[in-house]
Amino acid sequence: MTEQYPRASKTERDSCVVTVAEVPTVNLAPGIDTNLVCGKDLTLSFATLAPHSMGKMHSHPHEQMAVILEGSVDFILSGKTYALKAGDVIHVAGNLEHTGITGDVTCKMVEVFTPARKDFEEKLAQAKAAKG
């Protein structure tokens, strides 16, 4: 079926396709690394949380959803603990305090933020500059 559609040129592909493994890793906190893909109105974070890691309790105005891909995490949201495992999705409205705490296993997740996180764009730019 795809033969009726011309293959995108390299320039066209490069304008809208990102290979996550080629994006520099950004460290967000001890044991928490991510690869960021930034769009105009949203930000994707491909995060890896090492065993026994915990992010700082924080809030931000961005709406957030996190999809757990591997492992598990205790997600603290507005003073309650939500035990999340692979396949779970949590919704975080803007301005709610939250963090994640891992146990004995690594947790991999994809987070979506809207509107785009300018602070993450700056961290990505710094990581790209350091990579050279």
Which segments within 23-132 are labelled E, that is strand? 25-29, 32-38, 43-49, 63-70, 72-77, 80-85, 89-92, 98-101, 107-114
Alpha-carbon torsion, ordered 93, 27, 29, 104, to 10 deg: 90
The mean pLDDT value for 23-32 works out to 96
CA distance 21 to 18: 9
Tell me the pLDDT tens digit for each residue of 84-105.
999 999 999 999 999 999 999 9
CA distance 116 to 93: 14
Which amino acid appears at position 22 of this protein?
Answer: E
pLDDT of residue 1: 67
Domains of the chain: 23-127 (2.60.120.10)
The pLDDT confidence band at residue 132, using thresholds 50, 70 and 90, is confident
Tell me the pLDDT tens digit for each residue of 6-19.
999 999 999 999 99
* Average pLDDT over the chain, rounded to an integer: 96
Tell me the pLDDT tens digit for each residue of 30-88.
999 999 999 999 999 999 999 999 999 999 999 999 999 999 999 999 999 999 999 99
